[in-house]
Amino acid sequence: MSRPTPLCMPLLLLALALAGCQRPASDSLFPLEGGHRWTYRVSTQLEDGSNERELLTLRSLGQESLAELGEVNAWRRRSDSGIDYWLQADASGIYRLASKNDLQAEAQPDKPRRYVLKAPFTVGTQWQSATTPYLLMRRNEFPRELRHKHPSIPMNYQIEATDARVSTAAGRFSACLRVRGTATVRVYADPASGWRDMPLTTLEWYCPGVGLVRLERSEPANSAFLSGGSRVLELESWQ
């Protein structure tokens, strides 16, 4: 069974303004320092009736200099699905600088920087980052995945709460940030309805000292030509 595609872990981060700091605080909403590991249960339910369950592990590998960014120091984390991310934190928030999968020879810089959490970490803070359809697929065309045709869609994020509570397999968490992301992708749905804006929605919970503990992704299709679905990442263990 194939491993799940990380959703814009996409990434991916903190909740204390770190003005001028090189090292994240240990009680951040997304620890970046090396030595941490997060294992998630990944449950995917598609509109064609299929279901998948996987485990996904992320590891923080510490800080390193990245040649593709002009020898800039960045915090690296790696997914066991074969993707590396390089991140930084400053007074503006937490953002991704570059990413690389195992098929790429070099890290691919993010231009512009791709925020995971934007400061200030208060209700109402908004930002925009790129996403892609992870679950929407054509029923009878190849390639089926819409992400090949729509690799970069602007998603609008907003901090909805700073005191959210959430339960996961790893335990109960409180004083968490809850972030909502919304986007649409315009596609030809079917002959009856023609072109439609398909909604893409993400909910993310970031908790002090742990980081991302839950993510919910929804991409409904309700179309004769398209199939959608939902995916949940839930923290199973961390260190």
Q: What is the pLDDT of residues 57-104, one digit of tens each?
A: 999 999 999 888 788 899 999 999 999 999 999 999 999 999 999 999
Burial environment of residue 113 by CB neighbours within 10 A (0 to 12, 13 to 18, 19 or more)? middle
Does 215 reside within a domain?
A: yes
Does 1 reside within a domain?
A: no
Q: For the residues of 82-120, what is the DSSP string, one character each?
A: TEEEEEEEETTEEEEEEEEETT-SS-EEEEEEEEEEESS
Cα separation, 190 vs 202, in Å, equals 25
- pLDDT tens for 193-209 read 789 899 999 999 999 99
Number of compact structural domains in the chain: 1
Does 11 reside within a domain?
A: no
> What does each C-alpha distance from 31 to 76, 152, 168, 206 come to in angstroms?
11, 27, 18, 10
Residues of the chain with pLDDT under 50: 1-27
Does 175 reside within a domain?
A: yes
Partners of 166 in beta bridges: 173
Cα separation, 216 vs 193, in Å, equals 27
Does 7 reside within a domain?
A: no
- What is the value of pTM for the model shown? 0.85
Does 228 reside within a domain?
A: yes
Would the CA dihedral through 140, 143, 149, 152 be positive or negative? positive
Does 99 reside within a domain?
A: yes
Question: What is the chain's length?
Answer: 239
Does 29 reside within a domain?
A: no
Nearest one of 213, 156, 163, 162 to 180, comparing CA atoms: 156
Give the domain range for residue 68: 37-238
Is beta strand 51-66 parallel, antiparallel or unpaired with respect to 37-46?
antiparallel
